[in-house]
Chain A
């Protein structure tokens, strides 16, 4: 590693070390109430306990279930409706601004309505996750199919491609990268919004667990779940990136 890069790394490690040191000192000397900031050691201890016991599993399962359901609903409807809209220039001009405009409204506002309608169970979380993920997916699907390079279509027409052949051999592969990017964004947004909504109103799930430990004044356990949630987010993101890279490579 070059001298410069080493210096950067040292600063970053130093930063992390200072942070941890500050945490340890502050909680040790009681500068901050232990209800807000548990000691570093107890947090780590609780985190290890949590991992070992596996007691996170029921709530993690709920959160993942909500995520998968929300993503499936959003991606199926988003892709199908998006493709249909992209078929005519007129419908693109009518619907694309409509969806783009709706996208600018923070969809989390709908969550109280979903809670009213679906209750505190996974249903409301799936609903909000699907709603929020829907928009990047449909907008990207419309864009992907709308902007297929004219020269590909002309070439295929000149070679006598039928409508079905045109779709499978030209439109779909050409639109694919953009649609994939939309799916990826939708997935991440779904996860974040599900976590957030679990925090607001839920009976189970990772977000709920964090809140319940906050309310029961057990901050060490709360921190343990926060660590876990961050790690899950990181893992999901890495998985999605890997899948996207793998798919792109096969795409040529």
Chain B
């Protein structure tokens, strides 16, 4: 799983919104630095507005940092890298006017994959997430969990090394989240992809991640990195283990005050 070269490096990255000197200027991210190893699943967790989604967008090339540098496999990131990085978003960004399989194929069309290859790759991706039978359905006919699986299939179909996931399970109920989390862990073990995963859920972060980056309240800095020494695929045994409980509590302690700060709670 690990072989020493970093898939993603973030060095001293800051992101500010609004022109300098403007009192409304928002500093979303301040001097963030980290390195993500190949085949690692890194979770970003923190209170609302702490910049974790911003960092994800910076890694994916959807934004350029105000200061600092982001590099993927040694090369500086200047824009979207559809061949290296695939996204899964929180709101189902599936196009409602296309069937599921057409949605999966659309990404490939943008990438320039040959038409003849697209069908096989798409069906492969859909099978990997267990949606092969729903290829001809429209997104409106799918449940929330299935929509997110379809988005995942679209990302997998692009056959990138890196997967960026922005709270993909946030709109789903807890039970669905648990099941999808297990599926994701199993997928990671099988494919060895590098995944950066943004979440609000403490349990989800500990269950999925090899490491967890804990953010402070805005302006967001990386407070700590927590290691979860546990192999993939992880299953229900890990979910009910003491180790997970301990790590979750550790996260809670780290985050509690940051969350209160975000809510404008100035009580001691």
Contact = CB atoms under 8 A, between A and B. Distances in A.
Interface string B220-258: 000000000000000000000000000000000000000
Contacts of A37: none
B97 A158 contact: no
B110 A159 contact: yes
B93 A151 contact: yes
Interface string A222-252: 0000000000000000000000000000011
Given A151-B89, A154-B62, A154-B89, A159 B107 contact: yes
Contact of A156 (B83, B86, B110, B158): B110
Q: Is the interface of A mostly helix, strand, loop or mixed?
A: helix
A155 B86 CA distance: 9
Contacts of A158: 60, 62, 80, 82, 85-87
Nearest to B85: A158
Nearest to A161: B110
Contact of A159 (B82, B138, B140): B82
Contacts of B99: 252
A252 B97 contact: yes
A154 B93 contact: yes
Contacts of B110: 156, 159-162, 165, 169
A170 interface: yes
B66 interface: no
A173 interface: yes
Contacts of A251: 97
Interface string A165-190: 10001100110100000000000000
A170 B96 CA distance: 10
Contacts of B81: 160
B97 A173 contact: yes
A184 to B, nearest CB: 18
A154 B99 CA distance: 19
A155 B110 CA distance: 11
Given A170-B95, A252-B97, A160 B138 contact: no
Nearest to B138: A252
B152 to A, nearest CB: 13
A173 B82 contact: no
B89 A155 contact: yes
A204 to B, nearest CB: 43
Given A160-B83, A169-B109, 7 more contacts: A151-B93, A155-B87, A156-B110, A159-B111, A160-B110, A165-B109, A252-B138
Interface of B: 60, 62, 80-83, 85-87, 89, 91, 93, 95-99, 106-107, 109-111, 138, 140, 158
Interface of A: 151-152, 154-162, 165, 169-170, 173-174, 176, 251-252
